[in-house]
Structure 1
């Protein structure tokens, strides 16, 4: 009876042991699986990199008008991804992966405190070979650090110059800014030609306020007015002429007669007379007895006249070669004489060798250059 009871207990204990062993095995297996998952997770975690740690952002433009600019520390990111890796294929894949990364945002006209979306684009085909998972294509960023902008007076570096003679002056606009962006700005005047003394010209910047602010500058005005108060004016009559200036151009003209007559590229006697016999004679001409015959002012040109005024000097000279001599008349014309900004009379000094006509007939010159112009100009004969 005792043996039976003992065997019965042994069988019961064996059954209990069979129930306990599978439970322990399952627990051990479960713990092992957790460990494997953790190890794999650790490996994966260590092969994922937060690209944001290598991205820096700056802002271009003034507050309310700024835009972001992103910079990626590619070398730093490459070094972090490489670690102690030495396989050439892996290193090449990492290099290609990092070089493919582009950071951007569509946000514009930003203010401090704004929230923007930043986009990260890269070629994911390199991830497996590189053994890296970036897994980040977009993140949010709170804007901070935008400057309030630099206030400037835009026209401090703009030079406006009136050129020429009233009422036919022109305007020249020069941008003297040293800053590269400000130097690139362009300006337009509302009137560029036919400017008279006392006219007001409005100069405007061709770029708008917002565009300039997006480059960090806040301007006080986009236009400024300028008065043409430093212009010469054409003479109105004889009373405006300074005879000392006339005497200067008389001497210049006399010198030109000598120079032109001595020029052997043409024959002065033939040019003046049209007589072809002079073409057969020696081309060694000289001018003597050069005398001022008369001088005229043709003033206040109208009715389609080419000039506001013309001063004409008439000379006689004896032109000789080795065989002949003849009295020749020269007419020198000076156009658009004026009173300068400092109230001085002056003449537009054309080259005297280019602004003359010549003839052996004085009346012919007077009629063609002076009498024929009386409907267009008021004609004065100037006294000495």
Structure 2
């Protein structure tokens, strides 16, 4: 029923009643003479009395009308929100993506479940990544986020907000999102080769990653970080960079993901700092005093560079009671030109020029320096790595100055 008609009718009835009540008791026809003076005095007193009597009914009628209007508005708003919530849970007959968060589509859970074959096809060994095949031949990567805690919700919202406005060839594109029964899903563009973590530490053990491919991955990752640090206003600190955050397409092009803990430079809070980074990738200053800057991302990048060189995990347990970091294990050996080839990943050992290997080792050593001030900027890292990548893989053969060494003792070129 249309609520406008009763309101209009009620308003009309109240107005008519009030108007009639204020009309004079004496009604003279055009053929009669004006009322005598005594009656005029009586009418004036009668109208004055009516003015006093009608004040309370007018106020009550106005309040009642306001309450009715407010109730109808609240009911309409609640009905609209309920309708939107029901849309997020059920699929429409057309099977199209509906709903918006900014300009980002919200995907029905039923559609997402059908496209991913009940979330049965894994793409990567970590992070709950699934392949989803939508209509019209569209394939996407679905990341499932579990947890009902408030911090998970903040991270989910943060990633959506950032990825809906950031556009860069080495930053992952977000196709859509879904929320269902406390579980959240992020739908990325398809990345056929999964994560760098899977490629390096999964069943293939890095066999698909040649020296040049690894350098391309390092360059692409550096490009993405340089964009965040140098070309965003304010600069964005990723805060959670790790090998599982680096997604690879069919040509091993890099797309950086996992922006749930990303913050604008200068705006980080204690909640972010307490959860920032994964084990083995967290810079020392973050652990000691909660300091999070662009140099914290540089440290995490240095750890990834060591992973690419050594083929080792960022943290390993040689024995059940011991835990060894790749930084503490590798850095003392990086400065030894003769020892360096023996600690390189056997998959790529002796497949590169020694001077190139030494240069990458020097860059990695600089990036993981304990003091943030000794670490280079991502721009410097990028410019030092590009000459090591062939032109056909996006690099350049142009001769460039090597990375300036903040710590001369650990820099071996």
Structure 2-normalised TM-score?
0.20
Structure with higher strand content: 1
Structure with higher helix content: 2
Larger Rg belongs to = 1
